[in-house]
């Protein structure tokens, strides 16, 4: 066997999670594969249904749950919910709920699998008020 090249999918070779992510990243786009329906439940609650997605070649599963959004004390704010993939973190995938006068731009590190980088997939945007949420847009 050469010292300068190796094949990953072969008898007695070790295919790592990184190898799998790289292979699937080449042939797939990041996003929701099935399910993950987003609905407004009333008040300050957004419901996320169960489902699957792919981020940079990594399959993830979202379990059905409710996300509680902090309401404003006055006026309105913007809001978003997104999947955050971060290979440099002890928690490599998470769901982030963010509100503010402006929203953090999503990270799309195309080399995330090679640099232990980050990649975000926005699930929805909304407007936050003092008593309720409005303008929910599934993205």
pLDDT tens digit sequence for 23-71:
888 877 899 999 999 999 999 999 999 999 999 999 999 999 999 999 9
Higher pLDDT, 106 or 7: 106
Put the strands of the sheet holding 118-128 in their side by side order: 93-100, 77-86, 118-128, 133-138
**Has residue 134 got a pLDDT over 90?**
yes
Burial class of 25 by CB neighbour count within 10 A (0 to 12, 13 to 18, 19+): buried
Q: What is the pLDDT of residues 2-20, one digit of tens each?
A: 688 777 887 888 889 999 8
What H or E segment, with its residue span, contains residue 51? Answer: strand 51-55
Q: What is the CB-side half-sphere exposure of residue 79 using CA atoms within 13 A?
A: 26
- Cβ(113)–Cβ(25) under 8 Å? yes
Q: What is the pLDDT of residues 78-99, one digit of tens each?
A: 999 999 999 999 999 999 999 9
CA distance readout (Å), 117 to 14, 33, 98: 23, 22, 20
Q: Please give the mean pLDDT across all residues of the chain.
A: 93
Share of the chain above pLDDT 90, in %: 81
């Amino acid at each position: 066997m050469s010292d300068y090249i190796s094949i990953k999918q072969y008898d007695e070779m070790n295919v790592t999670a990184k190898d799998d992510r790289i292979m699937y990243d080449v042939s797939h786009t990041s996003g929701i594969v099935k399910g993950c329906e987003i609905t407004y439940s009333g008040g300050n609650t957004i419901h996320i249904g169960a489902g699957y997605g792919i981020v940079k070649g990594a399959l993830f599963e979202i379990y059905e749950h409710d996300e509680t959004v902090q309401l404003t004390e006055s006026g309105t704010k913007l809001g978003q919910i997104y999947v955050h993939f971060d290979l440099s973190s002890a928690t490599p995938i998470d769901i982030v709920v963010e509100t503010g006068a402006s929203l953090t731009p999503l990270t799309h590190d195309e080399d995330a699998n090679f640099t232990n980088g980050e990649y975000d997939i926005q699930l929805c945007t909304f407007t936050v008020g003092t008593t309720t949420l409005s303008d929910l847009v599934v993205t």
